[in-house]
Structure 1
Amino acid sequence: MNIIDDLKVQYKLGGIAQKMIYWNIGCFLISLVFFYQFKVGAFDFPNWIALSSEPAVFLLKPWTFLSYAFFHDGFFHLFFNMMVLNFASSLFLTFFSPKQYLGLYILSAIFAGLIFALGFNLMHLSGAVVGASAAIMAILVAVTTYSPLMNVRLLLIGNVKLWHITAVILILDLMQFRVENSGGHISHLAGAFFGFVFIKLLQNGIDLSKIVSAVLDFFANRFKKPSTPFKKVHKNYKKPVEKSTSRIVVKDKKQQQIDEILDKISQSGYDSLNKEEKEFLFQAGK
C-alpha cells in the first residue's frame, strides 16, 4: 500500500474535523501550484477565490463568501490555523454532532465574510481576505461558551481553563486590529461573535446548523441516482439454500475482520495497524 492509498483510508475513516483539515491542506497545495508567485515569494489569489471587499466583485461572485475560508496565505498561516482547528474541533465534537460542526464552520465563514466586506466599506478601505481563521474562531468560542471552565492541559504550562486560552487569542486579535491585516482581524472577531451567538441560540432550542444540513440534503437528493425499481418475484420461486448460506457466511467473516480492525484503531490508533491490515481495510472500502 502506497502513501496515497494510506491517506485515502485515513480520509474515509476520519471524522468531519479530519476531513476539514484535509480540505484546507488540499486547497493550499492547489494554491501553491496555481497562485504562488515564486519570483516575489507571495500568493496572488484571483477574485473568484479570495473574498474582495469591493461590492462590484463580491456581488458577482457570491461563492467567495465561503471559498476564501479554505485557502491560506502561506505555510505558517495554514499550520497555525490547522493546529487551532484540530484543538478546537476535538473539544467541540465532544459535545456536539458533526452536522452542527459543519454547519457552524460554513455559516460562521459566510457571516465573517459579510462583516469583513461591510467593515471595509464603512472604513473606506479596499482589500481581500483568505483563511479559515474566522470559522476556527467560531468553533473555539462556541465550545468555550458552552463549557468555559473545562480544564485543558498544555505542554510546559499544565492545566488551564478553556476560557483562558480563548481570551488570550481574542486579546491578541484586538491588539493587532489597527496594526496589520485589519481585514483578517475583523473576520476573526466576527467569527468569534457568531460562535457565541450559535451556542446561545442552540441553548434556546434554535439550531442554525439545520439550515446547512437542509441545503446539503437538498442537493444530495437532486444528484442521487434513482433507485432500482422493485422487481416482483414469483411466490413459488425458491432461492438455492446452499448459495444463500454461503454468501452470508462470507459476508459475516469479512465484516467481523473489519470490526476487529476498527476496534484496534479506536484503541491504539490507525498507525498501530500492520501492512496487511491496512491493505485489507483499503480493499474493503472500495
Structure 2
Amino acid sequence: MSIGQEIKQSFKQGSLHTKLIYVNIGVFLAVSIVNVIMLISGNRDYFSLLEWLQVPSYLPHLISTPWTLVTYMFTHENLFHILFNLLALYWFGQIFLRFFTQKQLLSTYLWGGLAGGILFVLAFNAIPLFVEMKYLSVMIGASASIMAITFAAATYAPNHTIYLLFFGEVRLKYIALVYLIIDLISIAGTNAGGHIAHLGGALAGYLIALKLKQNSTTNLGLGWVEGIFNVFSSERNKMKVVHKRNMSDMEYNATKVKRESNINDILDKINKTGYESLTKEEREELFKLGNKN
C-alpha cells in the first residue's frame, strides 16, 4: 500500500477529531505548495491561496468572500503556527471527548471559529483603536476554535485535573483562566485581532457547555457538517446489504439487551476511571456504537 493510500485509508477510518487535524494539515500543505510554485515561477507579485482563505476585517472584502469566515479556521501559514495549534487541538480535543461526543467536538470547533471571526470583524469596525487597521487586517488559524473546545470542557468539568510538566496536577478551570488572562492583556500587542478572536471562541465554548449541561445529547445545530467530513468515507461509498436474521425475536431481543448492558458498563467505567482505562475490546465496542449514531 502506498503512502497516499495509507493516508486516505486513515482519513476514512479516523474519527471526526482525527479528520479535523487532517483537514488543517491538508490546507496548510496546499497553501505552502501553491506559494512555492508561484514564487519559483519568478513572479514577485505571485498569487497566494491565502487571499481566498483568510478572513478580512474590511466589510466590503468580507461580503465578496463570505466563505472565509469558515476557511480561515482551517488555515495556517507557517510550520510553528500549525504545529502549536494542532498539538493544542489534539490535547484539548482528547479532554473534550471525555465528556462529549465526536459530533459535538466538530460543532464546537466550528461555532468557536465563527464566533472568533465575527468578533474580530466587529472589533475592527467598531473600536476606534482598530478602525484604521481594518483595511489591511486579516486573520487565519484554528486557535479561536481550540479556545472554544478548551472553555467548553473547562466550563462543563472545571475541577477535572490534568498533569502538566513542572506543575503537576492542575485543574482545567485554571488552565482556561490563564489563557483568558493572556489574551486580555495581549490585545494591546501586535496581534490584537487574533487575541480578540480567542475571546470570541472562549465565549462560544462557555455558552456551548451551558447548553450541553441542559441537554448532553444535542448536536449543537451543526449535525449536517458531519456529512461533509464523511463524504469520502468508505461506508458511504459502498452499497449496503441487509441480511435477514436467522434468530428468533426472543433471541434477538436478548442479544440487544446484553449489548446495551455492555455499553452502559463501559460508560460507567469511563465516568469512574476515564477513557484510558478501557480495554481494546471495550474501545472497539464503543467505536461501533458511535458509528451507529
Output one character per residue of 1:189-216: Cα deviation in whole Å (capped at 9) or x when no partner: 1100110011112223497744211466
Whole-Å Cα distance in 2 between the matches of residues 165 and 85 of structure 1?
A: 15
Residue number among 105, 115, 118 corresponding to 1:101 in the alignment? 105
2:52 aligned with 1:48 = yes
Q: Which residue of 2 aligns with 1:211?
A: 221
Matches within 5 A, 1:109-188: 109-123=113-127, 124=131, 125-126=133-134, 127-188=137-198
Whole-Å Cα distance in 1 between the matches of residues 94 and 31 of structure 2?
A: 27
Q: Which residue of 1 aligns with 2:7?
A: 7
Q: Measured at CA, do residues 209 and 47 of structure 1 come closer, stay the same or move farther in structure 2, by a change above 3 Å?
A: farther
Structure 2 residues without counterparts, runs of 5 or longer: 241-278, 284-293
Q: Percent identity?
A: 33
Q: Measured at CA, do residues 195 and 210 of structure 1 come closer, stay the same or move farther in structure 2, by a change above 3 Å?
A: closer
Structure 1 residues without counterparts, runs of 5 or longer: 229-264, 270-286
Whole-Å Cα distance in 1 between the matches of residues 58 and 218 of structure 2?
A: 28
- How far 1:11 sits from its partner (Å)? 2.2
Q: Which residue of 2 aligns with 1:85?
A: 89
Q: Which residue of 2 aligns with 1:277?
A: none
| Secondary structure of the structure 2 residue equivalent to 1:211 | coil
Rg larger in 1 or in 2? Answer: 1
TM-score, structure 2 length as denominator? 0.69
Counterpart code for 1:169: Y
Output one character per residue of 1:229-258: Cα deviation in whole Å (capped at 9) or x when no partner: xxxxxxxxxxxxxxxxxxxxxxxxxxxxxx
Counterpart code for 1:86: Y
Q: Which residue of 2 aligns with 1:282?
A: none
| Secondary structure of the structure 2 residue equivalent to 1:160 | strand
- How far 1:60 sits from its partner (Å)? 1.9
| Secondary structure of the structure 1 residue equivalent to 2:64 | coil
| Secondary structure of the structure 2 residue equivalent to 1:212 | coil
> Is the Cα–Cα contact under 8 Å of residues 113 and 142 in structure 2 kept in the other structure?
yes
TM-score, structure 1 length as denominator? 0.70
Counterpart code for 1:31: V
Whole-Å Cα distance in 2 between the matches of residues 148 and 216 of structure 1?
A: 28
Q: Which moved more, 1:168-177 or 1:206-215?
A: 206-215
| Secondary structure of the structure 2 residue equivalent to 1:59 | helix
Output one character per residue of 1:171-226: Cα deviation in whole Å (capped at 9) or x when no partner: 222221111111111101110011001111222349774421146669x99xx99x
Report the number of matched residues: 227
| Secondary structure of the structure 2 residue equivalent to 1:152 | strand
- How far 1:93 sits from its partner (Å)? 1.1
> Is the Cα–Cα contact under 8 Å of residues 99 and 213 in structure 1 kept in the other structure?
yes
